[in-house]
Structure 1
């Protein structure tokens, strides 16, 4: 116990020796933050008092018990030093030049100096030393050792002493389980340290920390407040029940149906918040400005609550848009469904229209051009009426707007725009190129690959030439570039299939396959050919043909009489179905 008191006394003595510099007013010390000095008398700054009127320079700095001038001297850990020789600042207990040295966490280092061997050159007091071989403690250089350390300016041996904060404690008075809690040692098996606050004789197995406070194991720590063991949840420093409450921004506990509106807490099941104003409202209510309204019977128009379907205008007030309209601040009655405002007049938009600043015109024979009414047959260019006999309108381009130009010839009907405006030309014989040049039209040449062809009779499918194909009503099947007859064939992704379609000639005699096989004797069945279908589609072939169907009118084949023998021509994929229902004789 005596040894502990001795180390506490040493610690207090060092603290007082390194106390900061204070102001002195004549012979009285004072804090410049809370007081001021006026003509040798200390005054409090409370009540907004900030300065003195007609004062003399009675206020000086004091370093421990010694007054000094801050311009010519400075205070380093309770000792006054002269600023002569360029000395400007303190580093621990040493005065140094800021131009040549710098202070790094209480260690004085030379600026810009590099050490040629591993490590850096440092300054300890007035001596330069090698950090790889020596160490500095309280401005004194010592040989570096594994067990030698510095504790707030005190050199100690780590094998015999321990440094806690700024105090050195002998290990003989401690045991192996002792560690530091702030500036004091403690037994971590018998005591608890909470952010440098020591709680002696508190078993860590039963106690823990809540910030700087001690709490029993199993208790709840919310912020910096200890709560007894519970199933609640933290909200700031307090607890709440999640089943009936909720936490707002980890600050305030509210009920599940409560919410904040500005600075007011309200029940959202009964009321609603409109622009930080609490109003009555349920699920059928909406906000209109800072007020609420029932949307089943009311509407909101320009921040005002009106009857359902009505509108509101600052000059006209509330009105029914089905019967009235607000025309430039005047409430006007409608004479029909499509009557609306044209400036301050009500017009029928089925017949008339509004142009510019209230000019009424008939839509059947007039039009609006740049705010002016013109005849319907007249042309409008960039808001101006043009004379069709002598003028043309050059359309808008990427670089120019619509512009009126003069015709170069009376029969010119188009304009080729350019940066200078445009040029008129006859579109029957001339073309306007993208480079703004007017050139004579060339006769159109049709090429299939490198071969000329007539596009009215021949067919070109991806540079494949089919002579007379269009005359035979053929088309291209892409991407295979094959020609086919769509009446008897179908193109599916470049593949041709026979179209299952009953020719008009045989359709009137169509029968179902089951009935056909029961009442007839088949002599032969064979797969239908393109040639046979082509002949039937042109109205040729046997006169006795008839179409045979299966369920849902799906075509199976076409039958006909041949030398008193009945033959059935079936489509691809129908062979098995035909043999299943029909027996050939």
Structure 2
């Protein structure tokens, strides 16, 4: 019986690959990653499990092996079960008992890797922050600055961060905001009377948003029909066509 991982065929000029973790796909259309050679990844940077179960390939470009990044790891061109394992410059190790520092595996007991330097520390707790080791109960925000979790809040987003007092505060990406007077919508801090219409901020007491189109708040009782604003006391919205018609007419068709 043919092993699915090794099964290949040629159809209409394309090479096809079948793996246990993916459907039959054109070999030439496999995703190309940084460091890839002939569509295969020598994936030593696979310690982070992909949350959506992405399929990648591992090994020699002439004979790649496909693996499921959520449950498996590629190290030194070989696929392993991910549980309890990480890769350190091609060497497989157990992070519970060992530590990888500057691409070298060391015993973990009383050792801390900070930046690219290995430290031996008998004092606890210690925290690595800003490339330096600190004897501190504090935490590290953005990998750069110490903060006190009991009185401060750290807001991190991508490569930026900020620290603020934590009373009545929450994070909106890399910014903190006052939860008693503000809210966070799509990464923007807005007042409670503010919303977003597309990318535009507006005051809900002054304007109404219909499908990313802003209108000044009218004197009549308004509603939206697609991007159109209408007076519900005089008109109605035909849902199927998104057309506004007088109340004395009937809508016809799907979604009337």
TM-score between both structures, scaled by the size of structure 1: 0.25
Q: Is the helix fraction higher in 1 or 2?
A: 1
Higher relative contact order (CA 8 A, sep 6+): 2
- In the superposition, the TM-score normalised over structure 2's length comes to 0.47
Q: Determine which structure has more spread, i.e. the larger CA radius of gyration.
A: 1
